[in-house]
Amino acid sequence: MPHKKLEKVFRDPVHNYISVSNQVIYDLIGTSEFQRLRRIKQLGTSSYTFHGAEHSRFAHCLGVYHIAKQITDMFTKNYPEIWNSEENLVTQCAALLHDVGHGAFSHTFEGIFDTDHEAITVSIITSPETEVNAVLRKVAPDFPEKVASVITHQYANQQVVQLISSQIDADRMDYLLRDSYYTGATYGEFDLTRIMRVITPVENGIAFKIQGMHAVEDYIVSRFQMYMQVYFHPASRAMEVLLHQLLKRAKVLYPTQKAYFDTTSPRLVPFFEKHFTLSDYLHLDDGVMTTYFQNWQTHADPILSDLSKAFVNRKLSKSIKYDHEDEQDLAILRDIVEKIGFDKTYYTAIHSNFDLPYDLYRPEIKSPRTQIEIMQKDGTLTELSELSSLVKSLTGTTHGDSRFYFPREILNPDTLFKAEQEAFTSYIKNDHFLGKKGIESK
Protein backbone atom coordinates (compact mmCIF):
# COMPACT_ATOMS: atom_id res chain seq x y z
CA MET A 1 0.00 0.00 0.00
CA PRO A 2 2.65 2.63 0.76
CA HIS A 3 3.12 4.47 -2.54
CA LYS A 4 6.59 4.95 -3.83
CA LYS A 5 5.93 7.10 -6.90
CA LEU A 6 8.09 10.21 -6.96
CA GLU A 7 6.11 13.16 -5.71
CA LYS A 8 7.91 16.13 -4.36
CA VAL A 9 5.76 18.92 -3.01
CA PHE A 10 6.88 22.53 -2.65
CA ARG A 11 4.85 24.71 -0.31
CA ASP A 12 4.28 27.94 -2.16
CA PRO A 13 2.42 30.92 -0.74
CA VAL A 14 1.07 31.89 -4.17
CA HIS A 15 -0.01 28.51 -5.54
CA ASN A 16 -0.30 26.71 -2.19
CA TYR A 17 1.26 23.41 -3.27
CA ILE A 18 3.51 22.91 -6.27
CA SER A 19 3.81 19.26 -7.03
CA VAL A 20 6.58 17.65 -9.06
CA SER A 21 6.18 14.06 -10.13
CA ASN A 22 8.43 13.99 -13.19
CA GLN A 23 12.04 13.00 -12.60
CA VAL A 24 13.35 15.33 -15.31
CA ILE A 25 11.73 18.36 -13.71
CA TYR A 26 12.93 17.28 -10.30
CA ASP A 27 16.48 16.85 -11.53
CA LEU A 28 16.45 20.23 -13.27
CA ILE A 29 15.44 21.90 -10.03
CA GLY A 30 18.42 20.23 -8.36
CA THR A 31 21.03 21.53 -10.81
CA SER A 32 23.50 24.14 -9.64
CA GLU A 33 22.36 26.50 -12.39
CA PHE A 34 18.79 26.37 -11.19
CA GLN A 35 19.67 26.50 -7.48
CA ARG A 36 21.63 29.65 -8.28
CA LEU A 37 18.29 31.39 -8.92
CA ARG A 38 17.70 31.28 -5.16
CA ARG A 39 20.40 33.92 -4.90
CA ILE A 40 18.84 36.33 -7.38
CA LYS A 41 15.90 38.47 -6.36
CA GLN A 42 12.97 38.46 -8.73
CA LEU A 43 12.44 42.20 -8.54
CA GLY A 44 16.02 43.44 -8.23
CA THR A 45 16.09 46.99 -6.95
CA SER A 46 12.32 47.03 -6.30
CA SER A 47 12.93 45.15 -3.08
CA TYR A 48 14.50 48.35 -1.77
CA THR A 49 11.17 50.12 -2.26
CA PHE A 50 8.84 47.26 -1.39
CA HIS A 51 10.68 45.68 1.50
CA GLY A 52 8.44 42.62 1.45
CA ALA A 53 9.36 41.74 -2.12
CA GLU A 54 12.50 39.78 -1.45
CA HIS A 55 11.41 36.70 -3.33
CA SER A 56 13.82 34.99 -5.70
CA ARG A 57 13.71 34.00 -9.33
CA PHE A 58 13.81 30.43 -8.05
CA ALA A 59 10.32 30.81 -6.60
CA HIS A 60 9.04 32.52 -9.73
CA CYS A 61 10.40 29.83 -12.03
CA LEU A 62 8.77 27.10 -9.97
CA GLY A 63 5.52 29.05 -10.23
CA VAL A 64 5.73 29.34 -14.01
CA TYR A 65 6.37 25.62 -14.22
CA HIS A 66 3.34 25.00 -12.01
CA ILE A 67 1.01 27.06 -14.20
CA ALA A 68 2.36 25.41 -17.34
CA LYS A 69 1.86 22.00 -15.79
CA GLN A 70 -1.74 22.73 -14.81
CA ILE A 71 -2.51 23.92 -18.31
CA THR A 72 -0.79 21.08 -20.17
CA ASP A 73 -2.44 18.50 -17.89
CA MET A 74 -5.82 20.08 -18.62
CA PHE A 75 -5.12 20.22 -22.36
CA THR A 76 -4.13 16.56 -22.30
CA LYS A 77 -7.38 15.63 -20.61
CA ASN A 78 -9.81 17.92 -22.43
CA TYR A 79 -8.34 18.54 -25.87
CA PRO A 80 -6.67 15.33 -27.05
CA GLU A 81 -7.72 16.04 -30.62
CA ILE A 82 -5.86 19.33 -30.90
CA TRP A 83 -3.19 19.25 -28.19
CA ASN A 84 -0.39 16.75 -28.54
CA SER A 85 0.44 15.48 -25.08
CA GLU A 86 4.00 14.78 -26.17
CA GLU A 87 4.49 18.53 -25.88
CA ASN A 88 3.85 18.47 -22.15
CA LEU A 89 7.42 17.90 -21.08
CA VAL A 90 9.02 20.38 -23.43
CA THR A 91 6.47 22.99 -22.34
CA GLN A 92 7.09 22.36 -18.66
CA CYS A 93 10.86 22.38 -19.06
CA ALA A 94 10.77 25.63 -21.01
CA ALA A 95 8.50 27.13 -18.35
CA LEU A 96 10.86 26.10 -15.58
CA LEU A 97 13.98 27.27 -17.37
CA HIS A 98 12.77 30.37 -19.17
CA ASP A 99 14.63 32.68 -16.76
CA VAL A 100 17.58 30.47 -15.85
CA GLY A 101 19.98 32.88 -17.52
CA HIS A 102 18.91 35.85 -15.47
CA GLY A 103 21.69 37.44 -13.46
CA ALA A 104 22.06 39.82 -10.57
CA PHE A 105 20.33 43.14 -11.26
CA SER A 106 20.01 41.96 -14.86
CA HIS A 107 18.69 45.07 -16.46
CA THR A 108 21.42 47.39 -15.25
CA PHE A 109 24.15 44.79 -15.56
CA GLU A 110 23.28 44.15 -19.17
CA GLY A 111 23.37 47.85 -19.90
CA ILE A 112 26.87 48.19 -18.54
CA PHE A 113 28.48 44.89 -19.53
CA ASP A 114 26.57 44.15 -22.70
CA THR A 115 25.34 40.72 -21.62
CA ASP A 116 22.01 39.25 -22.69
CA HIS A 117 20.12 37.05 -20.27
CA GLU A 118 18.07 35.40 -22.99
CA ALA A 119 21.14 34.33 -24.92
CA ILE A 120 22.60 33.02 -21.68
CA THR A 121 19.42 31.08 -20.94
CA VAL A 122 19.81 29.38 -24.30
CA SER A 123 23.44 28.79 -23.58
CA ILE A 124 22.75 27.15 -20.22
CA ILE A 125 20.25 24.86 -21.86
CA THR A 126 22.34 23.89 -24.85
CA SER A 127 25.97 23.95 -23.63
CA PRO A 128 27.23 20.45 -22.89
CA GLU A 129 29.12 21.58 -19.78
CA THR A 130 26.04 22.52 -17.74
CA GLU A 131 24.12 20.26 -15.38
CA VAL A 132 20.87 21.49 -16.93
CA ASN A 133 22.00 20.30 -20.33
CA ALA A 134 22.99 16.91 -18.92
CA VAL A 135 19.54 16.39 -17.47
CA LEU A 136 17.80 17.44 -20.66
CA ARG A 137 20.08 15.34 -22.87
CA LYS A 138 18.97 12.24 -21.04
CA VAL A 139 15.46 12.75 -22.45
CA ALA A 140 16.75 12.82 -26.02
CA PRO A 141 19.84 14.18 -27.73
CA ASP A 142 17.90 16.97 -29.41
CA PHE A 143 15.75 17.78 -26.41
CA PRO A 144 17.92 20.67 -25.16
CA GLU A 145 17.63 22.34 -28.55
CA LYS A 146 13.87 21.87 -28.53
CA VAL A 147 13.53 23.49 -25.12
CA ALA A 148 15.78 26.34 -26.19
CA SER A 149 13.80 26.91 -29.35
CA VAL A 150 10.63 27.38 -27.34
CA ILE A 151 12.36 30.17 -25.47
CA THR A 152 13.58 31.80 -28.67
CA HIS A 153 10.09 31.44 -30.22
CA GLN A 154 11.46 29.28 -33.04
CA TYR A 155 9.66 26.15 -31.94
CA ALA A 156 7.27 24.96 -34.62
CA ASN A 157 4.29 24.40 -32.35
CA GLN A 158 3.05 27.89 -31.59
CA GLN A 159 0.70 26.56 -28.90
CA VAL A 160 3.75 25.74 -26.82
CA VAL A 161 5.50 29.01 -27.62
CA GLN A 162 2.47 31.09 -26.67
CA LEU A 163 2.03 29.30 -23.35
CA ILE A 164 5.56 30.38 -22.43
CA SER A 165 5.77 33.69 -24.13
CA SER A 166 2.92 35.85 -25.35
CA GLN A 167 0.81 38.68 -24.03
CA ILE A 168 -0.83 36.27 -21.61
CA ASP A 169 1.53 33.47 -20.73
CA ALA A 170 2.54 31.35 -17.74
CA ASP A 171 5.48 33.66 -17.04
CA ARG A 172 3.44 36.84 -16.77
CA MET A 173 0.64 35.16 -14.88
CA ASP A 174 3.02 33.95 -12.22
CA TYR A 175 4.99 37.13 -11.81
CA LEU A 176 1.92 39.33 -11.52
CA LEU A 177 0.46 37.18 -8.77
CA ARG A 178 3.77 36.67 -7.06
CA ASP A 179 4.97 40.26 -7.16
CA SER A 180 1.55 41.32 -5.97
CA TYR A 181 1.69 38.90 -3.05
CA TYR A 182 5.18 39.86 -1.99
CA THR A 183 4.96 43.62 -2.44
CA GLY A 184 1.56 43.76 -0.80
CA ALA A 185 0.26 45.76 -3.78
CA THR A 186 -3.03 44.03 -4.44
CA TYR A 187 -3.41 45.50 -7.91
CA GLY A 188 -1.73 42.50 -9.48
CA GLU A 189 -4.39 40.02 -8.49
CA PHE A 190 -6.60 38.42 -11.11
CA ASP A 191 -8.59 35.24 -11.45
CA LEU A 192 -5.96 32.69 -12.45
CA THR A 193 -8.31 29.77 -11.78
CA ARG A 194 -10.84 31.13 -14.22
CA ILE A 195 -8.23 31.78 -16.89
CA MET A 196 -6.90 28.26 -16.50
CA ARG A 197 -10.44 26.94 -17.00
CA VAL A 198 -11.06 28.81 -20.23
CA ILE A 199 -7.69 28.63 -21.92
CA THR A 200 -7.91 26.38 -24.94
CA PRO A 201 -5.52 25.26 -27.65
CA VAL A 202 -6.45 26.32 -31.18
CA GLU A 203 -4.90 25.51 -34.48
CA ASN A 204 -1.97 27.83 -34.35
CA GLY A 205 -1.81 28.95 -30.78
CA ILE A 206 -4.01 29.41 -27.75
CA ALA A 207 -7.28 31.19 -27.14
CA PHE A 208 -9.67 31.87 -24.26
CA LYS A 209 -13.32 30.93 -24.18
CA ILE A 210 -15.75 33.83 -24.06
CA GLN A 211 -16.97 32.85 -20.57
CA GLY A 212 -13.62 33.98 -19.25
CA MET A 213 -13.32 37.19 -21.23
CA HIS A 214 -13.66 39.37 -18.15
CA ALA A 215 -10.95 37.44 -16.32
CA VAL A 216 -8.59 38.04 -19.23
CA GLU A 217 -9.57 41.71 -19.36
CA ASP A 218 -8.90 41.95 -15.63
CA TYR A 219 -5.50 40.37 -16.11
CA ILE A 220 -4.55 43.03 -18.69
CA VAL A 221 -5.73 45.81 -16.40
CA SER A 222 -3.93 44.28 -13.41
CA ARG A 223 -0.73 44.02 -15.37
CA PHE A 224 -1.01 47.64 -16.41
CA GLN A 225 -1.58 48.67 -12.81
CA MET A 226 1.43 46.72 -11.56
CA TYR A 227 3.61 48.48 -14.09
CA MET A 228 2.37 51.90 -13.08
CA GLN A 229 2.39 51.25 -9.35
CA VAL A 230 5.21 48.84 -8.71
CA TYR A 231 7.59 48.19 -11.57
CA PHE A 232 7.95 51.86 -12.50
CA HIS A 233 8.16 53.15 -8.94
CA PRO A 234 10.48 56.20 -8.83
CA ALA A 235 12.33 54.95 -5.75
CA SER A 236 13.26 51.61 -7.32
CA ARG A 237 14.47 53.47 -10.37
CA ALA A 238 16.60 55.67 -8.11
CA MET A 239 18.35 52.49 -6.96
CA GLU A 240 18.74 51.39 -10.55
CA VAL A 241 20.23 54.74 -11.51
CA LEU A 242 22.60 54.52 -8.58
CA LEU A 243 23.68 51.02 -9.53
CA HIS A 244 24.25 52.13 -13.07
CA GLN A 245 26.44 55.04 -12.00
CA LEU A 246 28.35 52.86 -9.59
CA LEU A 247 29.19 50.19 -12.17
CA LYS A 248 29.96 52.84 -14.74
CA ARG A 249 32.45 54.42 -12.33
CA ALA A 250 34.06 51.06 -11.54
CA LYS A 251 34.43 50.36 -15.24
CA VAL A 252 36.15 53.71 -15.73
CA LEU A 253 38.53 53.08 -12.86
CA TYR A 254 39.31 49.45 -13.69
CA PRO A 255 41.99 49.86 -16.39
CA THR A 256 44.25 51.77 -14.01
CA GLN A 257 43.52 49.75 -10.88
CA LYS A 258 43.35 46.14 -11.95
CA ALA A 259 44.99 44.79 -8.81
CA TYR A 260 42.45 46.53 -6.60
CA PHE A 261 39.47 45.08 -8.41
CA ASP A 262 41.12 41.69 -8.65
CA THR A 263 41.30 41.56 -4.86
CA THR A 264 38.00 43.16 -3.94
CA SER A 265 35.79 41.91 -6.75
CA PRO A 266 37.50 39.07 -8.60
CA ARG A 267 34.41 37.63 -10.25
CA LEU A 268 33.62 40.92 -11.96
CA VAL A 269 37.01 41.08 -13.62
CA PRO A 270 36.08 39.00 -16.68
CA PHE A 271 33.29 41.50 -17.30
CA PHE A 272 35.55 44.50 -16.92
CA GLU A 273 37.83 42.71 -19.35
CA LYS A 274 34.91 42.10 -21.75
CA HIS A 275 35.89 38.51 -21.93
CA PHE A 276 33.73 36.20 -19.90
CA THR A 277 32.68 32.56 -20.03
CA LEU A 278 29.36 31.05 -19.12
CA SER A 279 30.95 29.82 -15.93
CA ASP A 280 32.04 33.38 -15.06
CA TYR A 281 28.50 34.55 -15.53
CA LEU A 282 27.08 31.80 -13.34
CA HIS A 283 29.35 32.78 -10.49
CA LEU A 284 27.62 36.10 -10.07
CA ASP A 285 24.55 36.65 -7.98
CA ASP A 286 23.02 39.35 -5.76
CA GLY A 287 25.13 38.34 -2.78
CA VAL A 288 28.41 38.38 -4.67
CA MET A 289 27.67 41.77 -6.22
CA THR A 290 26.63 43.33 -2.95
CA THR A 291 29.70 41.89 -1.23
CA TYR A 292 31.81 43.69 -3.80
CA PHE A 293 29.94 46.96 -3.36
CA GLN A 294 30.57 46.65 0.37
CA ASN A 295 34.25 46.17 -0.35
CA TRP A 296 34.34 49.27 -2.55
CA GLN A 297 32.99 51.50 0.20
CA THR A 298 36.55 52.13 1.35
CA HIS A 299 38.06 52.77 -2.07
CA ALA A 300 40.10 55.97 -2.35
CA ASP A 301 38.04 57.29 -5.25
CA PRO A 302 35.42 59.48 -3.57
CA ILE A 303 32.83 58.85 -6.27
CA LEU A 304 33.14 55.06 -6.18
CA SER A 305 33.14 54.89 -2.41
CA ASP A 306 30.29 57.35 -2.08
CA LEU A 307 28.10 55.58 -4.61
CA SER A 308 28.90 52.22 -3.05
CA LYS A 309 27.87 53.47 0.36
CA ALA A 310 24.73 54.99 -1.08
CA PHE A 311 23.78 51.67 -2.67
CA VAL A 312 24.61 49.51 0.33
CA ASN A 313 22.77 51.82 2.71
CA ARG A 314 19.97 52.82 0.34
CA LYS A 315 20.58 56.53 0.11
CA LEU A 316 18.34 57.48 -2.78
CA SER A 317 18.46 60.46 -5.04
CA LYS A 318 15.29 62.45 -5.70
CA SER A 319 13.54 62.75 -9.01
CA ILE A 320 11.04 64.76 -10.98
CA LYS A 321 9.04 63.91 -14.06
CA TYR A 322 9.77 65.66 -17.33
CA ASP A 323 8.26 65.70 -20.80
CA HIS A 324 10.30 64.29 -23.62
CA GLU A 325 10.40 67.60 -25.50
CA ASP A 326 11.99 69.26 -22.47
CA GLU A 327 14.83 66.77 -22.13
CA GLN A 328 17.43 69.16 -23.53
CA ASP A 329 16.47 71.83 -21.04
CA LEU A 330 17.39 69.62 -18.11
CA ALA A 331 20.92 70.89 -18.76
CA ILE A 332 19.91 73.91 -16.68
CA LEU A 333 19.23 71.71 -13.67
CA ARG A 334 22.34 69.67 -14.25
CA ASP A 335 24.43 72.77 -14.19
CA ILE A 336 22.96 73.89 -10.91
CA VAL A 337 23.72 70.47 -9.43
CA GLU A 338 27.31 70.82 -10.58
CA LYS A 339 27.49 74.33 -9.16
CA ILE A 340 26.41 73.06 -5.78
CA GLY A 341 29.34 70.66 -5.87
CA PHE A 342 28.23 67.35 -7.38
CA ASP A 343 29.81 65.78 -10.43
CA LYS A 344 26.85 65.90 -12.78
CA THR A 345 27.98 62.84 -14.73
CA TYR A 346 27.57 60.62 -11.70
CA TYR A 347 25.03 62.54 -9.66
CA THR A 348 22.35 63.31 -12.18
CA ALA A 349 20.63 60.96 -14.55
CA ILE A 350 17.56 60.47 -16.61
CA HIS A 351 15.52 57.31 -16.49
CA SER A 352 12.60 56.42 -18.74
CA ASN A 353 10.15 53.59 -18.16
CA PHE A 354 7.44 52.86 -20.66
CA ASP A 355 5.29 49.83 -21.24
CA LEU A 356 2.83 48.87 -23.95
CA PRO A 357 0.09 47.20 -21.89
CA TYR A 358 -1.44 45.39 -24.85
CA ASP A 359 -1.13 45.45 -28.58
CA LEU A 360 -2.62 43.91 -31.66
CA TYR A 361 -0.71 41.63 -33.97
CA ARG A 362 1.12 43.93 -36.37
CA PRO A 363 2.96 41.77 -38.92
CA GLU A 364 4.76 44.80 -40.31
CA ILE A 365 6.82 45.51 -37.15
CA LYS A 366 9.97 43.78 -36.01
CA SER A 367 8.79 41.46 -33.27
CA PRO A 368 5.04 41.46 -33.68
CA ARG A 369 2.97 40.44 -30.69
CA THR A 370 0.53 37.61 -30.69
CA GLN A 371 -2.79 39.20 -29.96
CA ILE A 372 -5.19 37.65 -27.46
CA GLU A 373 -8.01 35.74 -29.08
CA ILE A 374 -11.38 35.09 -27.47
CA MET A 375 -13.33 32.08 -28.64
CA GLN A 376 -17.03 32.60 -29.20
CA LYS A 377 -19.53 29.84 -28.50
CA ASP A 378 -19.53 28.78 -32.17
CA GLY A 379 -15.76 28.52 -32.22
CA THR A 380 -14.93 31.73 -34.05
CA LEU A 381 -12.14 33.87 -32.65
CA THR A 382 -12.40 37.56 -31.83
CA GLU A 383 -9.48 39.74 -30.81
CA LEU A 384 -9.77 40.85 -27.16
CA SER A 385 -9.90 44.63 -27.55
CA GLU A 386 -12.94 44.31 -29.80
CA LEU A 387 -14.86 42.96 -26.83
CA SER A 388 -13.45 45.05 -24.02
CA SER A 389 -13.49 48.81 -23.90
CA LEU A 390 -11.06 48.74 -21.00
CA VAL A 391 -8.52 46.80 -23.01
CA LYS A 392 -9.20 48.95 -26.06
CA SER A 393 -8.26 52.01 -24.03
CA LEU A 394 -4.89 50.45 -23.29
CA THR A 395 -4.20 49.01 -26.73
CA GLY A 396 -1.32 50.27 -28.79
CA THR A 397 -0.25 53.13 -26.56
CA THR A 398 2.68 53.11 -24.21
CA HIS A 399 2.40 54.28 -20.61
CA GLY A 400 5.08 55.42 -18.24
CA ASP A 401 7.24 58.43 -17.62
CA SER A 402 10.70 59.92 -17.87
CA ARG A 403 12.36 61.18 -14.74
CA PHE A 404 15.36 63.32 -13.93
CA TYR A 405 17.36 62.20 -10.89
CA PHE A 406 19.47 64.47 -8.72
CA PRO A 407 20.98 64.42 -5.24
CA ARG A 408 18.52 64.56 -2.39
CA GLU A 409 20.74 67.22 -0.75
CA ILE A 410 19.75 69.76 -3.39
CA LEU A 411 16.43 70.15 -1.62
CA ASN A 412 17.78 70.33 1.93
CA PRO A 413 17.97 73.79 3.48
CA ASP A 414 21.50 75.11 3.11
CA THR A 415 22.70 78.67 3.64
CA LEU A 416 25.65 78.41 1.28
CA PHE A 417 23.72 77.43 -1.82
CA LYS A 418 20.38 79.01 -1.03
CA ALA A 419 20.26 80.94 -4.30
CA GLU A 420 21.09 77.88 -6.42
CA GLN A 421 18.53 75.79 -4.58
CA GLU A 422 15.83 78.36 -5.13
CA ALA A 423 16.72 78.54 -8.79
CA PHE A 424 16.48 74.76 -8.95
CA THR A 425 13.05 74.50 -7.33
CA SER A 426 11.69 77.36 -9.40
CA TYR A 427 11.74 74.97 -12.36
CA ILE A 428 9.59 72.39 -10.57
CA LYS A 429 5.86 72.24 -9.89
CA ASN A 430 4.09 69.23 -8.40
CA ASP A 431 7.16 67.04 -8.92
CA HIS A 432 7.23 67.94 -12.59
CA PHE A 433 9.94 69.79 -14.51
CA LEU A 434 8.34 72.89 -16.01
CA GLY A 435 10.66 72.79 -19.02
CA LYS A 436 10.55 75.44 -21.69
CA LYS A 437 7.44 76.99 -20.19
CA GLY A 438 9.13 77.46 -16.85
CA ILE A 439 12.30 78.77 -18.41
CA GLU A 440 10.49 81.29 -20.57
CA SER A 441 8.51 82.62 -17.64
CA LYS A 442 11.76 83.86 -16.12
Residues in 12-71 that interact with a copy of itself by CB under 8 A: 12-14, 16-17, 30-32, 35, 38-39, 47-48, 50-52, 54-56, 58-59, 62
Residue 45 beta carbon to a copy of itself: minimum distance, rounded to whole angstroms:
12
3-state SS string over 168-213? CCHHHHHHHHHHHHHHCCHHHCCCHHHHHHHEEEECCEEEEEHHHH
**Residue 6 or 82 with smaller CB distance to a copy of itself:** 82
Rule CB under 8 A: say whether 256 interacts with a copy of itself: no
Type of residue found at 273: E
Distance between CA atoms of residues 340 and 343, nearest Å:
9
**Residue 256 or 263 with smaller CB distance to a copy of itself:** 263
Asked whether 331 and 348 are in contact (CB, 8 A), the reply is no
Contact set for a copy of itself, span 101-140 (CB under 8 A): none
Contact set for a copy of itself, span 350-409 (CB under 8 A): 375-380, 389-390, 392-394, 397, 399
Distance between CA atoms of residues 133 and 124, nearest Å:
7
**Residue 152 or 204 with smaller CB distance to a copy of itself:** 204
Asked whether 245 and 309 are in contact (CB, 8 A), the reply is no
**Residue 181 or 254 with smaller CB distance to a copy of itself:** 181
Distance between CA atoms of residues 413 and 422, nearest Å:
10
Half-sphere exposure of 132 (CA within 13 A, CB side): 29
Contact set for a copy of itself, span 283-342 (CB under 8 A): 283, 285-288, 290-291, 294, 309, 312-315
One of 75, 143, 187, 281 touching a copy of itself (CB under 8 A) = 187
Using DSSP's 3-state secondary structure scheme, residue 383 falls into: strand
Binding region for a copy of itself (CB under 8 A) out of 133-141, 162-170, 220-228, 321-329 = 220-228
Contacts with a copy of itself by CB under 8 A: the residue count is 82
Query: Strand 373-375 vs strand 381-383: parallel, antiparallel, or unpaired?
Result: antiparallel
**Residue 47 or 165 with smaller CB distance to a copy of itself:** 47
Type of residue found at 98: H
